[in-house]
Structure 1
Amino acid sequence: AERQGYRNGVRPRTLYTRVGPVTLQVPQTRDGSFSPELFKRYQRSEQAFVLALMEMVVQGVSTRKVTEVTEALCGASFAKSTVSA
């Protein structure tokens, strides 16, 4: 079986939010075919990002885990009160 979709680091992607721009670290593949499901190819607004965070909270993911996810994606942390608000 031949491997496909070789990972090739990350690339920065700016997402504009109500509280300012957030730079996400988006994984990329050598052939450039990877597109995250969090937002559409050219989407630059926060709607999908906020909905994903809200869904995590609704599904019972702890605020600590949500903060860890946002740290990994954005390189910045949010206060627990921001996550649960």
Structure 2
Amino acid sequence: MRAIFNAPDRTEADRLWREALTQWRKDHPKLVQWAEAAIPDSLTVFDFPAEHRVRLRTTNGLERINRELRRRTRVAGIFPNPESCLRLVSALLAEPDDEWMTGKVYLNLNP
């Protein structure tokens, strides 16, 4: 799967995907059924410029934010009510939002 998404272009990714399906068809029919339904939608990442693909096909940024939320909410322990949890999480999410709005450009869509 990694080779498919690391392919240099859509043509090569399609070739590698068809090759993988051929190899899996006999031993893993359920996997092939899933892949035939799911992978074509995932390959739309190749419609974007090459420098955007890595950021679009991974969840690294989201995982980093989730780790930070988990770390900070563990310190608080038990919240007295849902609103207090929402206030803390909202405050924590406002920080990366401000950084994205004023700082580093995550995806530059203007050439």
TM-score band, normalised by the shorter chain?
0.3 to 0.5
The structure with the larger Rg is 2
TM-score normalised by the chain length of structure 1: 0.34
Please identify which structure carries the higher helix content.
Answer: 2
Which structure carries more relative contact order (alpha carbon 8 Å, separation 6+)? 1
